[in-house]
Amino acid sequence: MSHCILQIALDTPLDSLFDYRWACEPGSEPEVGQLALVNFGRREAVGLIVAVKHETDVPADKLKDALAVRGQLSPLPARWIALARFAAAYYHRPLGEVAMPGLPKNVRLSTTVALDRALKKLAKLPDAHDPTPADMPVLNAAQQQAADAIGGAQGFSPLLLYGVTGSGKTEVYLQACAQVLQRDADAQILILVPEINLTPQLEANIRARFPGVMLATLHSSLSEGERMLHWLAAHTGRARIVLGTRLAILASLPNLKMIVIDEEHDPSYKQQEGLRYSARDLAVWRARQLGIPIVLGSATPSLESWHHAQTGRYRRLELRERAVRDAVLPRVKLVDMERDKPKEGLTSTLMQALRLRMERGEQSLLFLNRRGYAPVLCCEACGWISNCTRCTAFMVLHRPERRLRCHHCSLELRIPHACPTCGNIDLQPLGRGTQRVEEGLQALFPDARILRIDADSTRRKGSAQEAFDTVHRGDVDILIGTQMVAKGHDFKRLTLVGVLNPDTALFSQDYRASERLFAQLMQVAGRAGRAGLESEVLIQSRYCQHPLYGAVMRHDYDRFAGSLLEERHQAALPPYMYQALLRAEAPELATAIEFLEAARDAVPSDTVVINEPIPMTMTRVHNVDRAQLLVESNSRPALQAFLTEWIDVLRAMKSRVRWSLEVDPLDI
Ligand SMILES: Nc1ncnc2c1ncn2[C@@H]1O[C@H](COP(=O)(O)OP(=O)(O)OP(=O)(O)O)[C@@H](O)[C@H]1O
Ligand SMILES: [Zn+2]
């Protein structure tokens, strides 16, 4: 028996590929893209075969044999490997660290029991063939134009579907999908949504519309068994529509013919740990690689995408009106909290508006992007406040759970009976979170059916879905929630939106804060009046004259985006600048800063600007101090060339500091 050499990418921070020997007859070597089980260090690991060779630099006595090749699984397509290679190069991570976590855990196990079971199950799964699809609503002219432009697009075509909230973007996606699926019997379509909670409604729509088509979903709340099955359905080409959250961008889709990114502006498309990729950006790359259309839909596009549309790189499609007959955008009003002093967080104007909705049997939504009861507990006698002992943050009061919780390191304490420093028993909550608003509402509106939806109320699997179903059924009068309720949902009976405390974001140091706040307000306002009932949005503020609120009142995304872009241009910020952020963590801040200073001086460059290291705004989390160093350039290739050189030097630096590099950071 002769043998060949398999070059394998493994999920490890070591930036190299690994050679293994594999006994086989000539002509029956494994293929690139297959998975292999090998001994790696002291463990067994499954890796991706990226080359099959006959020679290696590894000395014969060091060369190990691969243990098995997963012959039952068809190879990952070359184009999928190219996508992983691109992501690895662009984000400066080892290929294995990008490729392997993109695969379901069950194909990465030492045994093949789970894989074999899933393959069998998939083979038995009948092809869906219900002949009666739900009726397609007749599109309005703007929708029809958009759907035809998308469905008929040839080659790589990035299309920005800019449509006001409730303009029926979903319907446009679905009808464009229908065109693509009909034209090509093998075509696969990938649809991404920013939040898992948005999948059920869309999934139901897709199933009703395409009963003859296999749909696979990919998101983080699937069990490993489900994920394996759905991933295989996509990988084998059987699933023709794949609906998922950001992680689905790395799905293997051999016949991918179109990509849809719904709510493309949403920050959730950015992974915030490990491989910090942007699913939206990777999607655009993938569409270009495959020469297919990609639709980026939003009522409030990201400035990046808007800029591309302005400069002609993306084609803009517009839906200026709401889709449902007689539905118009809600009237937005500001309520001056200096004049109309709030009680339990609610101004009298907002209370009256709530009462009116109750009388009419319509629903109201109160939006407050702060969960818990109160952001801090304090002692008025001595000034003690509930600081987290491990973070530069307050411990948040969670009254129903009787806990103080740090939202950053998850430290939990029982609520102290008395002040830990002076013994005063009269500790006061300061500020207001969703739990406290809920409590206040119950006192003010004892007859109302009130429901709170936030990360705390929806911890149990399935509970978020139950909560949203309750709202859709009409069994809720007042809904209170965080950003979880603000986007995407099509609430039919909702006619009032109250925004409780948006001012803090006006004065944030983060240059993206105003873009985000504007998008958030437009999105949450967009939940009202979707079915044609007259509707209104009340924003409680102390800064009613702020131009951002003016733009929200006029529903004027165009002009606001234009002025933000102008500001960014003046200040040399993205999208006119390309950035990367080096972060360092150490028990002492000085150690982190020292590392970053050494990094700053390591590779001189005249094409990129290397800024000074600074502590992160929230410096300490879970007993480690964090600092960062921003690198920027007005040329993406120049920045990338610098990073390629820099990362090798950083890897070689001897330091106890934990560090990570992020390309195109969202939070600085
Ligand atoms: N052509 C049409 N005729 C009648 N109703 C329509 C039509 N198109 C869409 N709708 C309805 O309009 C409502 C809003 O549509 P959809 O949820 O797709 O809006 P959207 O553009 O995605 O909004 P958002 O940006 O707020 O998520 C839905 O109830 C949908 O069924
Ligand atoms: Zn903490």
Mind listing the pLDDT tens digit for each residue in 76-107?
Answer: 999 999 999 999 999 999 999 999 998 999 99
Instruction: Tell which one of 144, 160, 171 to mutate to probe ligand 1, the residue whose CB is within 8 A of the most ligand atoms.
Output: 171
Say how many Å lie between the CA of residue 496 and the centre of ligand 1: 18
Say how many Å lie between the CA of residue 164 and the centre of ligand 1: 10
> Which tokens hold the place of 520?
């958030």
Q: What is the DSSP string of 48-73?
A: EEEEEES--SS-TTTPPBP-EE-TTS
Is the C-alpha dihedral spanning 353, 354, 355, 358 positive or negative?
Answer: positive
**Cα–Cα dist 10/6, whole Å:** 12
Kind of pairing between the strands at 427-430 and 376-379: antiparallel
**Cα–Cα dist 662/579, whole Å:** 9
> Which tokens hold the place of 182?
């009909």
What are the pLDDT digits (tens) for 263-288?
Answer: 999 999 999 988 999 999 999 999 99
Which ligand lies nearest the alpha carbon of 201? 1
Q: What share of the chain is helix, strand, coil (3-state, %, to 5)?
A: 35, 25, 40
Residue 126 has pLDDT above 90, yes or no: no
Contact 535, 529 (CB under 8 A): yes
**Cα–Cα dist 354/351, whole Å:** 5
Average the pLDDT over 195-219 and give the result: 92
- Whether the complex's predicted ipTM is more than 0.95 is answered with yes
- End-to-end alpha carbon distance in the chain: 57
In degrees rounded to 5, what are phi and psi of residue 551? -65, -40
pLDDT in the model for residue 131: 65
**Cα–Cα dist 284/577, whole Å:** 19
Average the pLDDT over 232-261 and give the result: 97
What is the CA angle 348-352-355, rounded to 5?
140
pLDDT in the model for residue 600: 96
**Please, what are the domains in the chain?**
3-77+87-94 (3.40.1440.60), 141-319 (3.40.50.300), 331-371+433-565 (3.40.50.300), 578-663 (3.30.70.260)
Say how many Å lie between the CA of residue 325 and the centre of ligand 1: 10
Q: Which atom of ligand 1 is nearest to the CA of 523?
A: 26
What are the pLDDT digits (tens) for 309-341?
Answer: 999 999 999 999 999 988 999 999 999 999 999
SS3 229: helix
Residue 458 has pLDDT above 90, yes or no: yes
- The closest of 158, 142, 168, 522 to 309, measured between CA atoms, is 158
Residue 388 marked ligand-binding: yes
Q: Which residues pair with 39 in a beta bridge?
A: 44
pLDDT in the model for residue 26: 87
pLDDT in the model for residue 134: 77
Q: How confident is the model at residue 128 (pLDDT cuts 50, 70, 90)?
A: low
Say how many Å lie between the CA of residue 394 and the centre of ligand 2: 8
- The residue assigned the tokens 């190299």 is 16
Say how many Å lie between the CA of residue 429 and the centre of ligand 1: 42
User: Which residues place a Cβ less than 5 A from the ion ligand 2?
Assistant: 388, 390-391, 406, 408-409, 411
| Helical (H) or strand (E) element with 502 | none
Average the pLDDT over 2-29 and give the result: 93
Residue 373 has pLDDT above 70, yes or no: yes
pLDDT in the model for residue 129: 65
Residue 135 has pLDDT above 90, yes or no: no
Is the C-alpha dihedral spanning 239, 243, 249, 255 positive or negative?
Answer: positive
Q: Which residues contact 125 (CB under 8 A, 6 or more apart)?
A: 214, 233, 238
Q: Which residues contact 189 (CB under 8 A, 6 or more apart)?
A: 177, 180, 181, 240, 241, 242, 256, 257, 258, 259, 260
What is the CA angle 69-70-72, rounded to 5?
135
Which ligand lies nearest the alpha carbon of 404? 2
SS3 487: coil
**Cα–Cα dist 406/389, whole Å:** 9
| Helical (H) or strand (E) element with 124 | helix 113-124
**Cα–Cα dist 126/562, whole Å:** 51
Q: Which residues contact 123 (CB under 8 A, 6 or more apart)?
A: none
> Which tokens hold the place of 615?
């502590």
Q: Whose CA is nearest to atom 4 of ligand 1?
A: 324
Residue 379 marked ligand-binding: yes
Average the pLDDT over 633-660 and give the result: 95
Contact 603, 646 (CB under 8 A): yes
| Mean per-residue pLDDT over the chain, rounded | 95
Cis-peptide, bond into residue 267, ω within 30° of zero = no
Q: Whose CA is nearest to atom 31 of ligand 1?
A: 168
What residues line ligand 1, using a CB cutoff of 6 Å?
A: 137-140, 143, 163, 165-171, 299, 323-324, 488, 490, 526, 530
pLDDT in the model for residue 50: 97
Q: Which atom of ligand 1 is nearest to the CA of 138?
A: 1
Whole-Å CA distances, 30 to 49, 96, 193: 8, 18, 36
Q: Which atom of ligand 1 is nearest to the CA of 325?
A: 4
Contact 374, 431 (CB under 8 A): yes
**Cα–Cα dist 575/463, whole Å:** 39
